[in-house]
Chain A
Amino acid sequence: KNQVEQSPQSLIILEGKNCTLQCNYTVSPFSNLRWYKQDTGRGPVSLTIMTFSENTKSNGRYTATLDADTKQSSLHITASQLSDSASYICVVSVEYGNKLVFGAGTILRVKS
């Protein structure tokens, strides 16, 4: 069964600190992996999309990594800001059939 699991479920960090969010997937055949940021009361917004051949991709203070062999991805946030408080969702695209598999998300709260 195609699944995406994220950890931790929630996380609280102090402003300025770094953090790493994890994503494990059992999706086949794999097409690409995406990370989305969802602010409270808003729709998800794309942060990165990585294909099978990409190991690392950055978007400002966000850096995503992908290990296709172990089927793991991580999202690293550097020098966190209060505006980083949101839910971060890992999504894996299946190669055929216009299908995306969503993780339940990690809720990040950045405190001052």
Chain B
Amino acid sequence: NAGVTQTPKFQVLKTGQSMTLQCAQDMNHEYMSWYRQDPGMGLRLIHYSVGAGITDQGEVPNGYNVSRSTTEDFPLRLLSAAPSQTSVYFCASSYSGSRVGEQYFGPGTRLTVT
């Protein structure tokens, strides 16, 4: 199993540009989520999905879109990049249910917006 994979590993954007961060998992997990990690702060949930076709907002969803057309993939779209979106982004997956199971994290994407 490759686990959770993310691409790209690094990205530099100019303000106003758009891009998609890719996330895939091969563990047949129903639950997938996106977090951002900023210095001195805990991971913050951006969006999550409990299964294909179902997504919901997390704590900091503004400026981001997601979709879940397959169980394996959960891309995160930045609509119009802003310097405040400079961060490290982590995708995670787990078995679903009424509670979030043990989460497996990807290696992260370090994004800089200038």
A31 within 8 A of B: yes
Task: Give the complex CA separation of A41 and B108 in angstroms.
Answer: 8
Cβ of B41: which chain A residues have Cβ within 8 Å of it?
104
A102 touches B44 (CB 8 A): yes
Which partner residue on chain A sits nearest B41 by CB separation?
A104
A46 touches B103 (CB 8 A): yes
- Chain B residues with a Cβ closer than 8 Å to the other chain, count: 25
What is the CB-to-nearest-CB distance from B42 to chain A, in angstroms, rounded to a whole number?
3
B98 touches A96 (CB 8 A): yes
B42 touches A102 (CB 8 A): yes
B31 touches A49 (CB 8 A): no
Identify which of A32, A46, A93, A98 contacts B50 (C-beta below 8 A): A98
What is the CB-to-nearest-CB distance from B10 to chain A, in angstroms, rounded to a whole number?
11
Given contacts A99-B45, A102-B42, A105-B42, contact A46 B107 (CB under 8 A): no
- Chain A residues with a Cβ closer than 8 Å to the other chain, count: 23
A4 within 8 A of B: yes
B106 touches A93 (CB 8 A): no
Cβ of A34: which chain B residues have Cβ within 8 Å of it?
102
Task: Give the complex CA separation of A61 and B99 in angstroms.
Answer: 28
Given contacts A32-B99, A46-B102, contact A98 B42 (CB under 8 A): no
Cβ of B31: which chain A residues have Cβ within 8 Å of it?
98
What is the CB-to-nearest-CB distance from B111 to chain A, in angstroms, rounded to a whole number?
14
A-binding residues in B (CB < 8 A): 4, 31, 35, 40-45, 48, 50, 56, 90, 92, 96, 98-100, 102-108
Q: Which 9 A-B pairs have the closest CB atoms?
A: A43-B105, A102-B42, A102-B43, A104-B42, A31-B99, A44-B105, A103-B42, A46-B102, A43-B90
B-binding residues in A (CB < 8 A): 4, 31-32, 34, 41-46, 49, 89, 93, 95-96, 98-105
23 residue pairs bridging A and B, Cβ less than 8 Å apart: A4-B42, A31-B99, A42-B107, A43-B90, A43-B92, A43-B105, A44-B43, A44-B105, A46-B103, A49-B102, A89-B42, A93-B99, A93-B100, A95-B99, A96-B99, A98-B48, A98-B50, A98-B99, A99-B100, A100-B45, A100-B100, A102-B42, A102-B44
